[in-house]
Chain A
Amino acid sequence: MNGNSAAAEAAVLAGCTCYFGYPITPQNELGEYMARRLTEVPGGVFIQSESEIAAINMVLGAAVTGARAMTSSSSPGISLKQEGISYLAADELPAVIVNMSRGGPGMGNISPAQSDYFQATRGGGHGDYRTIVLAPASVQELADLVMLAFDLADEYRNPVMVLGDGMLGQMMEPVSFPEGYVPREYPKDYILTGAKGRPSRMVRSLLFDVKENEEKNWKLFRKYQRIQATEVRYETFLLDDAELAIVAYGTSARIAKGAIKRLRQEGLKVGLIRPITVWPFPEKIIQETAKQMSEFFVFEMNTGQMIEDVRLALQGRGRIHFYGRPGGVIPTPVELSRIVSRHYYQARGRK
């Protein structure tokens, strides 16, 4: 199954009944899958919207009635969705957004890239807010994380982004789905259904009173702190005895694993820290690792974005190396292993 279709099927299993989207490569299989699949779901709604802006606002409308809703797009389309994501965050509404990112800026191309890291992890739209960002590295993990995304969105009443790239979306891999999965129910005491037998409700972000708006911002901040405390996810690979740790996520983490296997065969003690949540960023494992060794190698398919979070986590400790290929180039494990080995031996020389 290709990644895009797997993400769509996972969403349906997780109880998603509403999909709104606008075509853009490399994620079209997701919407195409939904166009058929949601006809089999009771209450299923599929709309190919007139724009990404309309799609995210339809998601907002569906979310405010309590439905599990999602949209998907790729980099330029995600830029257009940022307006609506800001409103979702401000209104504290759950939603899942899949970004199969591609080479930018501007039109860029349709090849896999990780150029949207800043946009995804810093909120992305206007205002002081965050979205939970999940970064899968395989089709199976993409499916699993899409299902998790719906629960996190409901748990925290916050938009959740699944950040992949064209490679993950297009790649065919075996994937298994849980059988007899029953989506968790969350209290929905905020949704709009018509004020029947209860006081009327309003869902809004306009707060003219600056004190009220300040308190709202702090309230959101406290929620983000709770997310940071409880929802960090990461994977480590051959890290225990490592003298150098590669930090990479998503597709680049997969390439890094290939490189590490080669390097290990040659006797180089290289490990991997793979953030699965890129927001909240797994800074503690980086700090823990820095106690046992000092060489960190950040590898991204961009010119260096996550490296800033690694730097912040290290707070001046350790040494950070970087290798990146922007613009939709897919680096190979061989290419990466050569560069890593150079830094590895240079670091040895310093000891």
Chain B
Amino acid sequence: MKKVYARPASLKEAPFHYCPGCGHGIIHRLLAEVVDEMELREKTILVAPAGCGMLIYNYWDIDIVESAHGRGAAVATGIKRVRPENLVLSYQGDGDLAAIGTAEGFHAANRGELITIIFVNNGVYGMTGGQMAPTTLLKQVTTTSPFGRTAAREGYPIKMCEVLSVLDGTSYLERVAVTKPAEIIKAKKAIAKAFQHQFNKTGFSLVEILSPCPTNWKMSPLEACRWVDDVMVKEFPLGVIKERK
């Protein structure tokens, strides 16, 4: 019998603990698939973030170092500068990259660091229980914007890909979603392309992944996916934001 689907070698034999409908499991797997297919398992060093995504080290069978909240891009910079031959990834959430670690991410991008940031945007602080994130949509209710986010009080959702696109150091920026098969396939291609940019030394690469958080959005997994597809993408349009050839 032909085997058509198996656990990627870069993943440990551990079931994901994430909430039902959470995007992290899909993203972990996509990354592992790309790493396997490009035969990069023995070349990859991943910087794990603070937040739900930090638990990637329970699942990834790859060298991993943990970073303080927001500092992933700086840690990845230190690694990559010493070991340019490795694939260096930083896995970061929206609070991590667009709030506490804006400076580190922005300047790593501006220096054109040959690293790839996997930027998981779910519009809330997941692990701490659903507080407002820099990417929370206007009118979106969170535990710290209980009456809905307003521009006057909390400012606007930050579009990180667009912000970074004006920097000359950035080489590849794409926004994808992990809500349905077609989008998941695009996400996988975007990840592979970002890795290619890193190896081609064209500059900094980042894949922003719109990812459902049904628990903190207080939705069913299906409703959460639909909300990404119908509402979130209006603020955060999918597609290649920048690609340097």
| Residues of chain A at the chain B interface (Cβ within 8 Å) | 17-18, 20, 43, 45, 47, 49-51, 53-55, 57-67, 69, 83-84, 87, 91, 192-197, 200-206
Contacts and interface: CB of A to CB of B under 8 A. Distances in A.
Contact of B75 (A45, A57, A201): A57
A20 B62 contact: no
Given A18-B78, A47-B81, A53-B71, A200 B54 contact: no
A315 B89 CA distance: 52
A62 B82 contact: yes
A213 to B, nearest CB: 14
Given A57-B74, A58-B77, A61-B77, A194 B63 contact: yes
B94 to A, nearest CB: 19
B61 A200 contact: yes
Given A194-B63, A196-B42, A204-B65, A50 B103 contact: yes
Nearest to B79: A61
Contact of A62 (B41, B42, B54, B81): B81
A82 B75 CA distance: 15
B99 to A, nearest CB: 14
Interface size class of B (residues with CB under 8 A): 35 or more
Contacts of B63: 192-195, 200-202
A266 B221 CA distance: 86
Contacts of B41: 194-195
Contacts of B106: 50
B42 A192 contact: no
B82 A204 contact: no
A91 B78 CA distance: 16
Nearest to A65: B82
Contacts, number: 133
Contacts of B208: none
Nearest to B77: A58
Contacts of B43: 194, 196
A202 B64 contact: yes
Nearest to A62: B78
24 contacts: A49-B74, A53-B74, A54-B77, A57-B71, A57-B74, A57-B75, A60-B75, A61-B76, A63-B78, A65-B45, A66-B82, A67-B82, A87-B66, A87-B68, A192-B45, A192-B63, A193-B86, A194-B44, A194-B63, A196-B42, A196-B43, A200-B61, A200-B64, A202-B65
A87 B77 CA distance: 17
A99 B95 CA distance: 31
Contacts of A49: 74, 107
B64 A65 contact: no
Closest 9 CB pairs of A and B: A61-B78, A57-B74, A196-B42, A204-B66, A58-B78, A50-B107, A57-B71, A61-B75, A62-B78
Contacts of B42: 194-197
B199 interface: no
Among A51, A55, A193, A196: residue with most chain B CB under 10 A: A193
Contacts of A61: 47, 65, 74-82
B60 interface: yes
Given A63-B78, A194-B86, A205-B66, 4 more contacts: A50-B107, A53-B74, A54-B77, A87-B67
B57 interface: yes
B83 interface: yes
Nearest to A50: B107
A84 B68 CA distance: 8
